[in-house]
Amino acid sequence: MDGNRPLVIGYHLVWTAYGWWLPNDPRGSTSKCIRSNVLEELGLLHYGRKRIQPGAGEIRHFYQQAEGLLKHQLLSFRREEIPCIASAFAEVVSRERYTCYACAILPDHVHMLIRKHKHKAEEMIANMQNSSRLRLRATDCRWAVHTVWGGPGWKVFLDHPDDIRRTVKYILSNPRKQHLPSQSWSFVSPYDGWPLHPGHNPNSPYARRLRSRER
């Protein structure tokens, strides 16, 4: 382990509703293979985000073609379903004692920022997906055989309070970018600068590691 590298203090978690950001999405993706033969005809796989991004029309055309090839219906959450999803997230945050600093639930994907925890990022996403899937199925029979979420999602490691602040701002801006109302959820805690919050221990492992890097 690099002794000069700060410890991870949080995770920016992202995952999509079913059918979005497919492996061969024209914007590029983090997928290394296309597991469905019928989806291969939509286009070639490009690992990572493309340097030159396609226009909205190209992306829209791609998903219009994809919709007829998917096993389940391409999913966009209705506005009235978003509070239901948020309620499930709140239950998980309380049960698992997560500290969530930001959350945006959009029609086709979710952003969350959760403080470092004993659970890995992948476990956190799985817990959120499982709970919200069950909640949706309990409220509307149209979800009975639908998988709801599009895969395990991905995470970004955050290792400095400035990273947390920047990511919180980014997540909170997402609804407005889609012309949706700003979101405020009861399970989200204001970021207090942790682990360099007022009254923090200057000899904590994180503080020592950060000082070592800044020398």
For 10-19+78-214, which CATH superfamily applies?
Transposase IS200-like (3.30.70.1290)
Give the per-residue pLDDT at 3. Answer: 53
Give the per-residue pLDDT at 215. Answer: 43
Give the per-residue pLDDT at 168. Answer: 98
Name 29's bridge partners: 47
Q: Residue type at 156?
A: V
Give the per-residue pLDDT at 63. Answer: 64
Question: Mean pLDDT in each 10-residue stretch from start to end of the chain (215 residues)?
Answer: 71 86 60 51 55 67 63 79 96 98 96 97 97 90 76 90 96 94 97 90 83 62
Give the per-residue pLDDT at 34. Answer: 47
Residues ≥6 apart with Cβ < 8 Å to 69: 36, 38, 39, 41, 42
Going by C-alpha positions, the residue among 18, 14, 15 that lies closest to residue 149 is 18
Long-range CB pairs of 136-145 (<8 Å, 24+ gap) are 136/81, 136/84, 136/85, 136/88, 139/84, 140/81, 145/72
Give the per-residue pLDDT at 153. Answer: 87
Residue 187: burial class (beta carbons within 10 Å; 0-12, 13-18, 19+): middle
CATH 3.30.70.1290 domain range(s) in the chain: 10-19+78-214
Give the per-residue pLDDT at 188. Answer: 98
Give the dihedral of Cα atoms 133, 124, 76, 189; nearest 10 deg.
110
Provide the edge-to-edge strand list for the sheet that holds 154-158.
100-105, 109-115, 10-16, 154-158
Instruction: Return d(Cα 137, Cα 141) in angstroms, integer.
Output: 6
